Structure 1
Amino acid sequence: MADKLDLRPTKKLGQNFVIDAGTVRRIVRVAGVGPDDVVVEVGPGLGSLTLALLPESRHVVAVEIDPVLAAQLPLTVAERGLADKLTVLAADALKISAADLGGFAPTALVANLPYNVAVPVVLHMLEALPSLRKGLVMVQAEVADRLAAAPGSKVYGIPSVKAAWYADVRRAGPVGRTVFWPAPNVDSGLVSLTRREPPPTTASRTEVFAVVDAAFAQRRKTLRAALAGWAGSPAQAETALRAAGVDPSARGEQLDVHAFARIAEHKP
């Protein structure tokens, strides 16, 4: 199909296509997609995962930024008699909203995500599509570790905290390099997402995320120092931290999302 389309996978779009049937079946199985699910798939590419999702779900909304691939996917699916279960959006996944999905309210995000935009896409989808209840994404192994990291881990950081605002996140298994074309130079991993309510707080998501960004901007600094700009001064940062029940000498990687929400509530 790539030859027919004169397609050359590009690094710019993070195109590494899944070519192993066992892997796409595994993704659909682990995702737990069923006949009541409307699935949003980001970056369907040549359609291998799409073809595995369609028989198991009620409908698939595929978001593809490459116009050539977006035009080909309905043809590929129609050849297998599944065209009525597919909607293709030729769009940038980072810019779509619920209103763009043609009346569909997706319940599951299942995707082989381009490595270069994996974290922004996951966070944007969780924010823009509140109907999402679960997800399974394939990402670079290092990104999978970061998304699923717990406080205190060496790789715990901004993606870990922001993902935890929306969902329980966990690693759901490794993926080797040989299942892709072209084969990437890094290993991949599956990440499972289960939507839950954000922490109970009077602060908005934007306010909480501002604290998170400030706390990790200078990882080695104590929160008293790291949040000085956010609070107005180190002393004001210390006052806010103590009011939130957080040790001012702690560092951002020690706090869970609930602690960041408490800090945000006490901005001077």
Structure 2
Amino acid sequence: MTLLTARDIREIAADIGLRPTKQKGQNFVIDPNTVRSIVTAAGLEDAANVVEIGPGLGSLTLGLLEAGHCVTAVEIDELLAARLPHTVERFAGTEAADRDPETGTEAADRADRTARFSLVGADALKVTELPAPVSGGEANRPDALVANLPYNVAVPVLLHFLETFPSLKTVLVMVQLEVADRLAAAPGSRTYGVPSVKAQWYGDVRLAGRIGKNVFWPAPNIDSGLVRIDVTRTDRDPVQRRRLFSLVDAAFAQRRKTLRAALSGWAGSAQRAEELLLAAGLDPKVRGEALTVADFERLADVEGSRP
């Protein structure tokens, strides 16, 4: 399979009359080596069932197909969605110049890779189910999420898919470097906050690489980061999750305040907040960034168990 180059990207964009906009967070990867490094960083097993959000012009889509995975791409932009199947069909299986044309191997390879691709034209934040996988079965339970997420909706989309598709075991997303740092931040860090706790509630989050501006068209104003999440959480009671996430939102709404003060609205009063914090074995005078995910869970459980 031939991956998209900078020339290919610009030719496709010109052909469909595309002018990338900052409002839509459109920055397309133009370097095949970067695409392959992203796929490698995902560390997926053979023939994984992958969901990709915001495939754009298809750079990462082709890389995932090249690696042998099944790809369900979710694209909100009608112009991009209309072109993507054609790009997959055109570029699939075209690198093997030494193949024997009489055997039909290249044609079969192209057909296989095209068959492993499906497209959902929808807003990723509203997607609650995916079409049946090409490998068969009644429901699409993706193993992995691999995506170059649009900068303006990266965290909401990531959390929505983690909540909606519990079958996900591996996540590898490219986001704005600042967002990547926040997602992977440890307690006590200045960048540790709501995205950190919510993402880390699902599993182990870590930075998996840094991507420079020059591999995108148009080039963004800031570098990007790869974030990998190895999903480990199996107990996902929706009531407990909502209680916990509400607590986390309250704890970081006013970062400079102590938890006793910051959680007064959430608990009903500052005095009540202090009682809950002490019952959870936490110092009411600390701030939200000092608490681990386990600390927040313990506090949420205490609140949920009180009359």
State TM-score, norm by structure 1: 0.96
194 and 182 in structure 1: CA distance in 2 versus 1, 3 angstrom threshold = same
C-alpha distance in 1 between matches for 2:159 and 2:217:
26
1:11 aligns with 2:41: no
Where in structure 2 are the equivalents of 1:27-38 lying within 5 Å? Answer: 27-38=38-49
1:23 positional shift: 0.3
1:200 positional shift: 9.1
Number of residues paired by the alignment? Answer: 267
Where in structure 2 are the equivalents of 1:188-207 lying within 5 Å? Answer: 188-197=224-233, 204-207=240-243
- Counterpart of 2:176, as a letter, is Q
From 219, 224, 232, the equivalent of 2:260 is 224
From 72, 85, 104, the equivalent of 2:140 is 104
Q: Deviations over 1:107-162 (max 9, x none)?
A: 01111111111111111111111110001111111000000000000100000000
- Identity rate, percent: 59
1:47 aligns with 2:58: yes
Structure 1 contact 201–262 (Cα < 8 Å) conserved = no
The answer for the alignment partner of 1:260 in structure 2 is: 296
C-alpha distance in 1 between matches for 2:234 and 2:243:
13
1:133 aligns with 2:169: yes
1:69 aligns with 2:80: yes
Structure 1 contact 203–264 (Cα < 8 Å) conserved = no
The answer for the alignment partner of 1:59 in structure 2 is: 70
C-alpha distance in 2 between matches for 1:105 and 1:3:
36
199 and 251 in structure 1: CA distance in 2 versus 1, 3 angstrom threshold = farther
SS in 2 for 1:46: coil
- Counterpart of 1:93, as a letter, is A
- Counterpart of 2:79, as a letter, is V
1:198 positional shift: 6.1
Which stretches in structure 2 are left out of the alignment for 5+ residues?
A: 1-11, 93-109, 133-138
From 81, 85, 89, the equivalent of 2:116 is 85
SS in 2 for 1:117: helix
1:259 positional shift: 0.8
1:202 positional shift: 11
The answer for the alignment partner of 1:169 in structure 2 is: 205
C-alpha distance in 2 between matches for 1:201 and 1:88:
30
Larger-Rg structure: 2
State TM-score, norm by structure 2: 0.84
**CA RMSD across the alignment:** 1.6
Structure 1 contact 14–116 (Cα < 8 Å) conserved = yes
From 106, 112, 125, the equivalent of 1:94 is 125
Structure 1 contact 34–56 (Cα < 8 Å) conserved = no
Higher mean C-alpha displacement, 232-241 vs 77-86: 77-86
The answer for the alignment partner of 1:157 in structure 2 is: 193
201 and 13 in structure 1: CA distance in 2 versus 1, 3 angstrom threshold = closer
From 212, 218, 221, the equivalent of 1:185 is 221
- Counterpart of 1:263, as a letter, is L
C-alpha distance in 1 between matches for 2:127 and 2:174:
20
SS in 1 for 2:227: strand
Structure 1 contact 16–182 (Cα < 8 Å) conserved = yes
C-alpha distance in 2 between matches for 1:237 and 1:228:
6
Structure 1 contact 33–57 (Cα < 8 Å) conserved = no
1:203 positional shift: 6.4
Which stretches in structure 1 are left out of the alignment for 5+ residues?
A: none
C-alpha distance in 1 between matches for 2:268 and 2:235:
25
Structure 1 contact 165–198 (Cα < 8 Å) conserved = no
